[in-house]
Amino acid sequence: MLAMLSDKMLPIIVFSVLFTIGEMINIPAAQSIRVQLINPKKIGTYSGVFSAVTPIAQLIASMIVSGSAFLATSVLLFFF
């Protein structure tokens, strides 16, 4: 148990907590803004597309981050 709380794990724990707090603030605000901007007749369509595309974007982003350990920096700059 104590090995898990070494100096290398402390930044991961701190940033995980900060990320979680940020999501707790961001998600409700983003949802309320989205409802205000969307045509009331198409809320279901836009929400469905958003719910379908978000996991795909998260998968692509995580693949790029995981691939950064194996690819050269010049290759990664091509995507950005």
The answer to whether position 3 is within a domain reads no
Give the model confidence (pLDDT) of 23-52 as tens digits: 999 989 988 888 888 888 888 888 888 889
What domain range is 16 assigned to?
8-37
Note whether residue 60 is domain-resident: yes
Residues 50 and 66 in one domain: yes
- Specify whether 51 is located in the same domain as 80: yes
Do 77 and 53 lie in one domain? The reply is yes
Query: How far is it, in rounded angstroms, from Cα 80 to Cα 78?
Result: 6
pTM: 0.51
Q: How far apart are CA 56 and CA 63, in angstroms?
A: 11
Higher pLDDT, 80 or 47: 47
CA distance 79 to 64: 9
- Asked whether residue 63 carries a pLDDT value surpassing 60, the answer given is yes
Residues 58, 80 share a domain: yes
Residue 77 banded pLDDT, cuts 50, 70, 90: low
